[in-house]
Amino acid sequence: MVASTQAAAQLGSWLAPGYALFLCIHFLGVGSFAYIVMRRMVPLVRAQSDLRFDHPLERLGRVGKFWLGQWKHPRYKVAGTVHILFFAGFILLAMRAFTVLILGTSPDFVMPGMRGELGHVYEVVTDYAATVVFLCMIFAIVRRVVFKPARYEVPSKFGKAHKADAVFLLALIAILMLADSLFEAAKAAGQMQAGQIAHFSAAYSLPWLLKTVFVSASLSSIGQFCFAGYLLHEITFYFLLCYRPFGIQFHVETSLFNVYFSKLDREVLKPVRWDVSEENLDQLTSFGVKTFEDFTWKHMLDFYSCADCGRCSDNCPANAAGRPLSPRFLTIKARDYAFQHYPMFGPTGNGKALVGGIYSEDEIWSCTTCGACEEECPLLIEYIDKIVDLRRGLVDEGRVPQSLQKPLKALESRGNPYGKMEKKRSDWINAKDFQQTCRVKTLDKNGADTLYFVDSITSYDERMHSIGRATAKILEHIGENFGILGAAEKDSGHEVRRFGEELLFISLRDQNAEAIRASGVQKIVTADPHALNALKHDYKNVPPVEHISQVIARGVKAGKVKFNPIEGDKVYTYHDPCYLGRHNQIYDDPREVLDAIPGLRRVEMKRSRDRSFCCGGGGLMLFYEPKEEERIGVKRVRMAAEAGANVIVTACPFCMANIEDAIKVAGLEGKMTAIDIAELAEQQMVREIPPQTKSTFEMQAECVAGR
């Protein structure tokens, strides 16, 4: 106690000449920061509402996992580890930084509870923390300047590089750590000279190293070092505080809030407006995001929170294929817009259209809504909702690519994007050879327990008919009492909604939901993950829905489905469809089905499960003509080849369409094939009928399908 009082007196005598200056800097720093934050809040106040104040406990849990726990960071090993280290350092150092700041004007200040042994331990720990953070910064600077990881590069089409800014900020943090260490070292060196403490606890830490330099110096020079260290620390601290809101490090302040307010149900698409019910949508004068102010405050917070780490774009299939979309720059461009149009002084906002301004139409239509960016973002920034909102704005203004207008019009008039007649929706069940083995009833007159929701592509695309037939045969085999809606089924509207045509989606949804409820079924099965996602998350008050792979997996576990051994030496790989995997977390069931087939050799692609690489996009994306260097599907097929596979198993008809097309384009015809999991399961299924008869049927079926 005597020692610490003496130490405080010594510190007080060293810092006393600067009291007035320190106090000025405090007021200036805190005042400026408050003003800057207030100005940064201006667009958020003008923004659209967003429902983010519910479920506080769940949100706190997410803060614990994703913010404090840095959950997403280890997905990138090097950058992730470094971030975890200095994030932990910051958390530990936060209290010390405040304590140091206060010491400038109250040299005897001690944080409550930190007076005894705990304070000593904290001091030792933070000495090391400061050292670690310092080293991390040096490492990060070297990495940025010397090794230049590709994902930080800024293509010229997206603006100028942010490297200088990043390095400057990293250097400032290093300086802050140095200043802190200087101050601590001088303080300790002074105490040691005065004989108050015998040794410095945190051996080989940065303060320790500096202390060993100072300890032999005169007490007055140590005092000067202490003063300098304090002043440098204070200035750097406040400069950083006020400079961060102008660049990529604003996330230091916003990340906690961004994670707390992050979307809880990622699969559910944002409504057109949080504060307008569906019934009242007609009263809106404008739909979607047209100007910056049409974004919700949370989406603006996303823009502020982006750390420019590039992980989103690194995983984005559209970006990889050279489409004009990069999720990273979707955010960065919006932030630049916000900074430019909501400056620190002067008038704010200009109300100009975003698309045609900072974004191009093609950029907005290029997204496949695969969700890879959102899966990766350590800060839980949302992209799909923003893309859909921007599309809603484009649709509202009639700015829809010609290639999409035709299918949208057909969906409106006929309930399918092809413009085919409703009565032909169930043509696939009427093929003679199929009818001989499997009779599928339509639920207009007959009842059933289970509805097989087929959706448009499987109903109308001849190639996909075999997926529908395989699904029906499997359902029949496991003894489901099932049927289809036939002509009463409309497109699920999944992509209609994601392409921004909300009212058309509502109309399709209502027609389907009514037909489903009228059919009296207890549950729904589909082989189309897009339909699955729609029925599960976009529809309300419909029976529970499952994907056929889940049904098969359960059948396998229950012993209802057994497979014949697979012949040949083919190597299989499973491609996770985005709307089965990432959007609905069904990763294991399809793999279990494949692994239940005796003799099937399966390899994983480098990008699988939640890092699966999109096939190129389903639904209306099949009609859109993106500007791209290489097709997304071709990239995916090459990944399968790299993994050593020659059969790609999918679980989605859109994946099938894209992958089969891509196999041809990649020139891998004959070397690579694709098969749907339902087709494969049905083909290998052990049936009660003699295998001889079965194979004859199948050969016929294949002849027809192959035609």
Helix (H) or strand (E) holding 674: strand 673-676
- The answer to whether residue 243 forms part of the interface with another protein (CB under 8 A) is no
Three-state DSSP class for 359? strand
Closest CB to another protein among 286 and 481? Answer: 286
Q: Of residues 419, 444, 603, 638, which one binds another protein by CB under 8 A?
A: 419
Least gap, CB of 568 to another protein (angstroms): 22
Binding residues for another protein restricted to 170-189, rule: CB under 8 A? none
Closest CB to another protein among 287 and 297? Answer: 287
Q: Angle, nearest 10°, between helix axes 384-396 and 297-305?
A: 130
- Tokens coding 267: 């699969």
Closest CB to another protein among 255 and 416? Answer: 416
* DSSP per-residue letters across 579-618: TTTTTT---HHHHHHHHTSTT-EEE--SS-GGGPPP-S--
Closest CB to another protein among 575 and 631? Answer: 631
Closest CB to another protein among 148 and 664? Answer: 664
Q: Which residues contact 304 (CB under 8 A, 6 or more apart)?
A: 40, 245, 250, 251, 254, 258, 335, 338
* Region near another protein per CB under 8 A, out of 121-129, 402-410, 537-545, 599-607: 402-410
- Strand pairing category for 482-484 and 523-526: unpaired
Least gap, CB of 456 to another protein (angstroms): 12
Are 327 and 316 in contact, with CB atoms under 8 Å apart? yes
Least gap, CB of 137 to another protein (angstroms): 46
Least gap, CB of 694 to another protein (angstroms): 25
- The answer to whether residue 287 forms part of the interface with another protein (CB under 8 A) is yes
- The answer to whether residue 422 forms part of the interface with another protein (CB under 8 A) is yes
Are 395 and 412 in contact, with CB atoms under 8 Å apart? no
Are 654 and 672 in contact, with CB atoms under 8 Å apart? no
CA–CA gap between residue 148 and residue 141 (Å, rounded): 10
x-or-dash pattern for another protein, window 137-176, by CB under 8 A?
----------------------------------------
- Strand pairing category for 482-484 and 441-442: parallel
Closest CB to another protein among 208 and 505? Answer: 505
Least gap, CB of 398 to another protein (angstroms): 3
Q: Of residues 112, 347, 398, 690, which one binds another protein by CB under 8 A?
A: 398
Least gap, CB of 413 to another protein (angstroms): 4
* Region near another protein per CB under 8 A, out of 77-85, 173-181, 317-325, 390-398: 390-398
x-or-dash pattern for another protein, window 647-666, by CB under 8 A?
--------------x--xx-
- In degrees, to the nearest 5, what angle opens at C-alpha 591 toward C-alphas 589 and 592? 65
- The answer to whether residue 396 forms part of the interface with another protein (CB under 8 A) is yes
Q: How far is CA 473 from the centre of its chain?
A: 37
Least gap, CB of 286 to another protein (angstroms): 10
Q: Angle, nearest 10°, between helix axes 548-557 and 588-595?
A: 50
- The answer to whether residue 402 forms part of the interface with another protein (CB under 8 A) is yes
Q: CA nearest 493: which of 506, 483, 481, 482?
A: 506
Inter-CA distances, 348 with 72, 293, 339, 610, Å = 35, 11, 10, 41
Strand partners, 676: 650
Closest CB to another protein among 661 and 676? Answer: 661
- In degrees, to the nearest 5, what angle opens at C-alpha 323 toward C-alphas 321 and 325? 120
Binding residues for another protein restricted to 309-368, rule: CB under 8 A? none
Binding residues for another protein restricted to 451-510, rule: CB under 8 A? 461-463, 501-504, 507
Closest CB to another protein among 165 and 397? Answer: 397
Query: How many CA atoms lie less than 13 Å away from 36 in the CB half-sphere?
Result: 20
Closest CB to another protein among 397 and 592? Answer: 397
- The answer to whether residue 511 forms part of the interface with another protein (CB under 8 A) is no
- The answer to whether residue 279 forms part of the interface with another protein (CB under 8 A) is no
Q: Of residues 63, 179, 301, 408, which one binds another protein by CB under 8 A?
A: 408
Q: Of residues 52, 323, 414, 537, which one binds another protein by CB under 8 A?
A: 414
* Region near another protein per CB under 8 A, out of 39-47, 248-256, 404-412, 448-456: 404-412
In the 8-state DSSP scheme, what is residue 422? G
Inter-CA distances, 144 with 139, 156, 162, Å = 9, 18, 11
Closest CB to another protein among 375 and 396? Answer: 396
- Strand pairing category for 523-526 and 571-574: unpaired
Least gap, CB of 282 to another protein (angstroms): 6
Closest CB to another protein among 115 and 664? Answer: 664
Closest CB to another protein among 461 and 495? Answer: 461
- The answer to whether residue 679 forms part of the interface with another protein (CB under 8 A) is no
CA–CA gap between residue 504 and residue 184 (Å, rounded): 66
Least gap, CB of 497 to another protein (angstroms): 12
CA–CA gap between residue 593 and residue 32 (Å, rounded): 61
- Tokens coding 542: 């419909």
- The answer to whether residue 623 forms part of the interface with another protein (CB under 8 A) is yes
* Region near another protein per CB under 8 A, out of 25-33, 229-237, 416-424, 687-695: 416-424
- The answer to whether residue 631 forms part of the interface with another protein (CB under 8 A) is yes
Q: Which residues contact 250 (CB under 8 A, 6 or more apart)?
A: 40, 244, 304, 305
Q: How many CB atoms lie within 10 A of CB 471?
A: 29
* Region near another protein per CB under 8 A, out of 258-266, 379-387, 408-416, 693-701: 408-416
In the 8-state DSSP scheme, what is residue 565? P
Closest CB to another protein among 463 and 562? Answer: 463
Residues that contact another protein, how many (by CB under 8 A): 41
Length of the chain measured in residues: 707
Are 535 and 513 in contact, with CB atoms under 8 Å apart? no
- The answer to whether residue 78 forms part of the interface with another protein (CB under 8 A) is no
Which residues make up the interface to another protein (CB under 8 A)? 281-282, 287, 395-400, 402-405, 408-410, 412-414, 418-423, 461-463, 501-504, 507, 622-623, 625, 631, 661, 664-665, 707
